[in-house]
Structure 1
Amino acid sequence: MVTSNSCKITQVRLCDCDVSDEGCAALTSALRSNPSHLRELDLSGNKVRDSGVKCLSAVLENPHCKLKTLRLCDCGVSDEGCAALTSGLRSNPSHLRELDLSWNKLRDSGVKCLSAVLENLHCKLETLRLCDCDISDEGCAALTSALRSNPSHLRELDLSENKLRDSGVKCLSAVLENPHCKLKTLRLCDCDISDEGCAALTSGLRSNPSHLRELDLSENKLRDSGVKCLSAVLENPHCKLKTLRLCGCGFSDEGCAALTSALRSNPSHLRELDLSWNKLRDSGVKCLSAVLENPHCKLETLRLCDCDVSDEGCAALTSALRSNPSHLRELDLSWNKLRDSGVKRLSAVLENPLCKLETLRLYGCGFSDEGCAALTSALRSNPSHLRELDLSWNKVRDSGVKCLSAVLENPHCKLETLRLCDCDISDEGCAALTSGLRSNPSHLRELDLSWNKIRDSGVKRLSAVLENPHCKLETLRLRYCGVSDKGCAALTSALRSNPSHLRELDLSWNELRDSGVKCLSAVLENPHCKLETLRLCDCGVSDEGCDALTSALRSNPSHLRELDLSKNKIIHSGVKRLSAVLENPHCNLETLRLHNCDVSDEGCAALTSALRSNPSHLRELDLSGNKLRDSEKEQLFSLKLQDLRV
């Protein structure tokens, strides 16, 4: 169809569609015949490889080609393929506006070729993403040299997860200080940058602060000195930064004090602030509170996960939010010791009718059912905004869940995600929870009750929610919940009545045994079942249960993307049956985990034979903990999977 002169398709999106270099060659051959209409091409997540990109290059160099967006993320492209691609772009550089080559091993040599395009004055590229491309400071130097020659068009640059180091960032700084540079988004997460590199970067931004809207320097060791340098940019009245991420940057309350002092001078622009995994302590949060209570502060997202904050710091934070409650939409205080007293203070914010918080994460905050009661009392007063609530790893207990149930049954409650992992809940608490959900089942999309002893009786009550045709739950996690084959039978009976919504099911570390898995198989073989992720790690399954499971998957193989059968005694006969699913051309499985499954060389041989018949989908294979011969391992390595563990 693409070859037809009457074809005027402007967008082709084939992300994760099992396109190989051969398929890419056919596609580009068609595009060469009719190149003038296409504006967007996305081949991400396909094994296009260098040979496919070379074919694509012939399209790009055609003067009639007016492609604006090209995404080749995770396509197995190397520096050789990048060289061919950029050769095509050099011939016709003026139309492309977005290029994403992330998660390809372009290396410095590939980026140097790309730089020859960027320095061309006819190049008007606005978005360039090169995340995790194996680039060093040498490649960054070439890239920024090109941008210095042609700085005015680029709006978004993502170089995250490359080892740019301080020397690379110093080169980049020379681009940022150019008054013609109008970069809006800069992501340098995990680039091996220290406070020295941050100082150079912020020096560039001080010269030209008005354009940048998003800055991500997470997972770099900026320390207090680096954050202090950055603060000089933030306090500039011309700075209009909206998103700042400094997660895991090794700074303390001292750095936070400098940062918030700057934000007090210029509070009205910032919308997202992530300071997680830094030791801000209560003193740092108190400084931050002075920003939040400012009526000009319009912060929407605040993440302070694992910042060494106690109930004292939480008191200061919530006091500020009571003064200015209407803007915040996401708050993450997880892994801080807020305790019941801190959560009670937070509840005073939540019950305010002006509070419109949509996401609240408080996992691992050391509070009990008392704190949960205060929290849910507040939510009963103002239930309509919250969409995600995570209270995992707190001692909420049955009494706390009973309070929460009164929120869930409220018809104004529209909660979509509820996580109560390891909350000391029993089947009694699960009964209260499911009673609330039966009254209002249509909104919840994700439920995690893992590591609670809800047992078969709790799962049976939960099943009454799942079989409700108004229930649209997509993710259900019940890891280590004391469920047996009897509970699994009730669960799967409910899913048979309403199979079309669930996408992820995790029943790992329960004694389901073969009989439970056989019941589950009746759901999987239903053509309306569209389950994409199934985790059954350490469920007491043998080759008999695996036989039932794979029989069902043979009937309905196209939806499942991830299967985890680790720590079950599947042995070689079970693996042979599983291999019959894998060799089915309709099978789209991407992740298969068979860790410690007693798989023999014979089973491994069947598995590799099946994968050779249908090699294109599987990305991750875990056979670690099985006693395989070196010869069988070599056969597996020949498959060249992205992630192979043996």
Structure 2
Amino acid sequence: MSNYIMPNYYLKVFYVLVLLLLPAAGSILGFNSTAQIKCIDRERQALLNFKHGLIDFFDMLSTWRDDDNSRDCCKWKGIQCDPQTGHVTVLRLRGGSFPQYLTGTVNITSLLALQNIQHLDLSSNRFLWSHIPELMGSLTNLRYLNLSYSYFCGNIPTQLGSLTHLLSLDLSHNYLLRGDIPYKLGSLTNLRYLDLSYNNLDGKIPSQIGNLSQLKYLDLSENSFSRTLSFQVGNFPSLDTLRLAGDFDVKAKDAKWLSNLGSLTHLAFNGIHNAEALQMIHSPKLRELRLVDCSLSDTHIHSLFYSRSNFSNSLTILDLSSNMLTSSTFQLLSNFSLNLQELYLSQNNIVLSSPVHSTFPSLVILDLSYNKMTSSVFQCIFNFSSKLQNLYLRNCSLRDDSFLMSAISITNSSSSLVSLDLSSNLLKSSSIFYWFFNCTTNLRTLELNDNMLEGPIPDGFGKEMNSLEVLSLFRNKLQGEIPSFFGNMCTLQSLDLSNNKLSGNISSFIQNSSWCNKQVFQSLFLSDNQITGILPMSIALLSELEILLLDGNCLEGDVTESHLSKFSKLRLLSLSDNSLSLKIVPNWVPPFQIISLELRSCKLGPSFPSWLQTQRSLLYLDISENRLNGSVPKWFWNNLHNVESLYMSQNNISGAIPNNISLKLFNRPSIFLNSNNFEGKIPQFLLQASDLRLSDNKFSDLFSFVCDQRTYVMATLDLSNNQLKGQLPDCWKSVHQLLFLDLSNNKLSGKIPVSMDSLVELEVLVLRNNNLTGELASTLKNCSNLIMLDVAENMFFGPIPSWIGENMQQLIILNMRGNHFSGHFPIQLCYLKHIQFLDLSRNMLSKGIPSCLKNLTDDGKEHQHK
């Protein structure tokens, strides 16, 4: 559930339509059927060059072709042209509903030929780790620029300040954008819409933002700005939406500009801990007010709403989540605004007693999650509002006795309610299902996950809840067979029964249902139960499935391509941890493009599954523990551009990984290839992984892998139990962001190299059981974040360095056994206040460990000295 994004989204749509005066007949996909003049050749070629840098897994640019039938780029998807001149004016490549998106490189140089472009939308794509191109500032005719939700990183280029015709700029929800807001954005004096929310911007908000006097919408929330609010919002006489979030030091005397915002209709002040400043809100047109995490008490709310009743008739949305409010505020608000439609009070100190009498005549959405309602009683009706449609009571300590029935109460049931969230409560008895189908029969969404529900689900539930579309029951203790009535609930689209104790034969569930909902049924979650039997061919009846999760059960038998041949829309499939055998013919071409495929321990082997070559959209792949033999074909590595997680561990895969692959891993994936028989050199393209596990193989060369002139953002590297030999390479700056490094149980020799002083973020360093020698290099001084240092079973000599205690005070585990350290125990080790395991045995120390080290565990004490 999103309390914040959806209203924001509709406002964006409104402003875009108003500000840009888009033709009502314009296609959302950008087709221009009325254009009489074909596109200009050089602009068509520019678009094709731009396409060349993109990776289009989902055929979003399928119409962008350089053939005789598609030469008119004005008819390409996402393109609009001026009907008089043929110049491209609109490029709209917004990613669609999941999982459609573009990735790759934004080659803005190619677009410089489009000097008449006014509208550029690259939002909702995955340009992970790409910077916003500085040359975007050269498209000086732009009126609309939207790069939101596209994972851009780095700084906002100052060159965007050159787009002086810009009316709308949206860089929100990139999360990795950092640095200051460029002061040159203050030059965009025509700007009406500015959204920089949900990034990692810091520093001061430049005072030049106050120059944007025509702004109607301003959102700077969810960043890391300094506490000073250095611009005057009072300079925005037309502003109707303002969203700020963060620990701004807004003094009451400096907040007078709030009282001047007479046009304000939407205000969000999240995380601003100054209740006095909130008293300056004078907005008779205010429709939405969000004061989340502002340390507000009942007194503050009483003062604000009693003294500022000038917006009591206009307010329709109020969010006071994550404050310190009690039931007193809840009672006050029920009398405050007759027009209040949405009320969010989650994570407060509200304790509602029995019965609940507060009434809100217009309320449609109410969120009381994460409050205490242990003594509340609902007799077939939630007495909050006769118009209530969405009620969220997550984690409210509700018990079975909170839900009672009587003949009278059934007559007055909550007929308007369509969505109910009772997840993470204390519900146990399956009798709660009787309450639902007697009292809330119009529900479309019901969430009961993370309770303690036991026993079977009664048959009456399936017969009466005939409007239900989404049912979530995961992480309970439900028993018995999967009720076949779920297949007779003709509107059901998503069913989640995972993490229960359901048993019985899956064939009975599939074959004993009418599946009148098969045209709308999209998601089936049955993971982690005790379901038995073979997967029946009749599973193909559910041809509209997008998600099928059956992992962690007791299924057995063969799964062939015939089981899966009808699933053209399948996006997530998990069959892991059963007793299944996948027997798929090598030349099979699946009808789907899968995003997440989990086939752990499914007996895929011995040959590598060649049908994976057709899957170009994989983000997550787990084929570990599958008895795979032989080498991995080169095409597989070349298809990993988009992968986020790859698990191939615990097979019998052998051979070398090709080292001549020029592959860009756009998503900095986790790659687990451990416990195989890979050998030879480690290819450098694997340096792009964020988490790389290569332990228990036969890799032999570390130097050619680590020594790259480029730098990478790898966090975890595990190369333990290989056949690495030679000296430790002196080029660790390329992976200076490492948090975990394990090179144990190899044949590495020589001294610890100087460049290891660049590993300042390192938390775990394991060099155990090699042939390393010399004194323990002082270059490790910089590794002050270490919590584990293990250099046991090497040939280090000399005194134990005193700087270990001085510089590594976060250490929990220190293992130096089996070396040639000598001399006294340095008293500086007494600075290790967090140490729990210390092993210095099998060295040549002259004294034992002093009593100053009090935190050693029993295991640690066994190895204190020798």
Q: Same fold (TM over 0.5)?
A: yes
Distance change (3 Å), C-alpha of 1:626 and 1:391: farther
* Count of residues in Structure 1 that have an aligned counterpart in Structure 2: 570
Q: By how many angstroms is 1:4 displaced?
A: 5.6
Once the two structures are superposed, residues 154-206 of structure 1 have per-residue CA deviations (whole angstroms, 9 ceiling, x without a partner) of 5445565x5x4x33x543x134x313573615262xx3x4353x643563344
Distance change (3 Å), C-alpha of 1:182 and 1:120: farther
- Per the alignment, residue 250 of structure 2 pairs with 141
Segments of 5+ residues of structure 1 without an aligned counterpart are none
- Per the alignment, residue 217 of structure 2 pairs with 126
Distance change (3 Å), C-alpha of 1:347 and 1:9: same
Choose which of 515, 521, 528 in structure 1 pairs with 2:603. Answer: 515
Choose which of 534, 544, 547 in structure 2 pairs with 1:472. Answer: 544
Q: Hey, which of these two has a bigger chunk of helix by percent?
A: 1
Q: By how many angstroms is 1:418 displaced?
A: 0.5
Matched, 1:194 2:283: no
- Per the alignment, residue 347 of structure 1 pairs with 437
- Per the alignment, residue 229 of structure 1 pairs with 329
Computed over aligned residues only, the root mean square deviation of the Cα atoms, in angstroms, reads 4.7
Q: By how many angstroms is 1:348 displaced?
A: 1.1
C-alpha distance in 2, partners of 1:634/1:541? 37
C-alpha distance in 2, partners of 1:140/1:27? 34
- Per the alignment, residue 313 of structure 1 pairs with 402
C-alpha distance in 1, partners of 2:651/2:217? 52
- Per the alignment, residue 278 of structure 1 pairs with 371
Q: By how many angstroms is 1:301 displaced?
A: 0.7
Check whether the contact 2:126–2:150 (CA below 8 A) recurs between aligned residues: yes
Choose which of 145, 160, 166 in structure 2 pairs with 1:66. Answer: 166
Distance change (3 Å), C-alpha of 1:342 and 1:44: closer
- Per the alignment, residue 494 of structure 1 pairs with 563
Check whether the contact 1:128–1:157 (CA below 8 A) recurs between aligned residues: no
Name the amino acid aligned to 1:387: E
Instruction: Give the alignment's TM-score, normalised by structure 1.
Output: 0.73
Distance change (3 Å), C-alpha of 1:124 and 1:311: same
Instruction: Give the alignment's TM-score, normalised by structure 2.
Output: 0.56
Check whether the contact 1:600–1:626 (CA below 8 A) recurs between aligned residues: no
- Per the alignment, residue 390 of structure 1 pairs with 472
Distance change (3 Å), C-alpha of 1:274 and 1:149: closer
- Per the alignment, residue 298 of structure 1 pairs with 387
- Per the alignment, residue 44 of structure 1 pairs with 149
- How much identity, in percent, do the aligned residues show? 17
- Per the alignment, residue 423 of structure 1 pairs with 500
Matched, 1:444 2:521: yes
Choose which of 178, 182, 188 in structure 2 pairs with 1:92. Answer: 188
- Per the alignment, residue 609 of structure 1 pairs with 687
Name the amino acid aligned to 1:131: E
Choose which of 332, 335, 343 in structure 2 pairs with 1:244. Answer: 343
Q: Aligned to 1:494, what secondary structure does the other structure show?
A: helix
Q: Aligned to 1:95, what secondary structure does the other structure show?
A: coil
Choose which of 21, 24, 29 in structure 1 pairs with 2:133. Answer: 24
Distance change (3 Å), C-alpha of 1:93 and 1:155: farther
Check whether the contact 2:606–2:627 (CA below 8 A) recurs between aligned residues: no
Q: By how many angstroms is 1:298 displaced?
A: 0.8
Name the amino acid aligned to 2:154: R
C-alpha distance in 2, partners of 1:301/1:319? 23
Q: By how many angstroms is 1:359 displaced?
A: 0.4
- Per the alignment, residue 650 of structure 2 pairs with 569
Q: By how many angstroms is 1:217 displaced?
A: 3.7
C-alpha distance in 1, partners of 2:454/2:176? 49
Q: By how many angstroms is 1:389 displaced?
A: 0.9
Which stretch shows the higher mean deviation, 605-614 or 16-25? Answer: 605-614
Map 1:67-216 to 2 at 5 A.
67-74=167-174, 76-80=176-180, 82=181, 84=182, 87-106=183-202, 109-110=203-204, 112-113=205-206, 117=209, 119=210, 122-133=213-224, 139=248, 141=250, 145=255, 148=258, 150-157=260-267, 164=272, 166-167=273-274, 169-171=275-277, 173-175=278-280, 177-179=281-283, 182=286, 184-186=288-290, 188=292, 191=293, 193-196=294-297, 199-200=299-300, 203-206=303-306, 207=308, 208-216=311-319
Which stretch shows the higher mean deviation, 327-336 or 631-640? Answer: 631-640
Once the two structures are superposed, residues 379-416 of structure 1 have per-residue CA deviations (whole angstroms, 9 ceiling, x without a partner) of 3xxx2x221012223444344x23xx234146xx1211
C-alpha distance in 2, partners of 1:595/1:540? 11
Once the two structures are superposed, residues 564-591 of structure 1 have per-residue CA deviations (whole angstroms, 9 ceiling, x without a partner) of 528x4369979x749988x534x55464
C-alpha distance in 2, partners of 1:154/1:139? 20
Check whether the contact 1:593–1:621 (CA below 8 A) recurs between aligned residues: no
- Per the alignment, residue 427 of structure 2 pairs with 337
Once the two structures are superposed, residues 248-296 of structure 1 have per-residue CA deviations (whole angstroms, 9 ceiling, x without a partner) of 3243235x98xx55x42xx222211122232211x3344995624x6xx
Once the two structures are superposed, residues 1-51 of structure 1 have per-residue CA deviations (whole angstroms, 9 ceiling, x without a partner) of 55567745434124334276665223332x22x23xx3341243333421x
Q: Hey, which of these two has a bigger chunk of strand by percent?
A: 2
Check whether the contact 2:315–2:337 (CA below 8 A) recurs between aligned residues: no
C-alpha distance in 2, partners of 1:602/1:228? 70
Q: Aligned to 2:395, what secondary structure does the other structure show?
A: coil
Check whether the contact 1:361–1:390 (CA below 8 A) recurs between aligned residues: yes
Distance change (3 Å), C-alpha of 1:88 and 1:133: same
Name the amino acid aligned to 2:427: K
Once the two structures are superposed, residues 67-117 of structure 1 have per-residue CA deviations (whole angstroms, 9 ceiling, x without a partner) of 22413322533342x1x1xx23433345322413213132xx33x32x652
C-alpha distance in 2, partners of 1:11/1:42? 8
Distance change (3 Å), C-alpha of 1:123 and 1:532: same
Distance change (3 Å), C-alpha of 1:12 and 1:503: same
Check whether the contact 2:380–2:413 (CA below 8 A) recurs between aligned residues: no
Name the amino acid aligned to 1:271: V
- Per the alignment, residue 540 of structure 1 pairs with 625
Check whether the contact 1:417–1:447 (CA below 8 A) recurs between aligned residues: yes
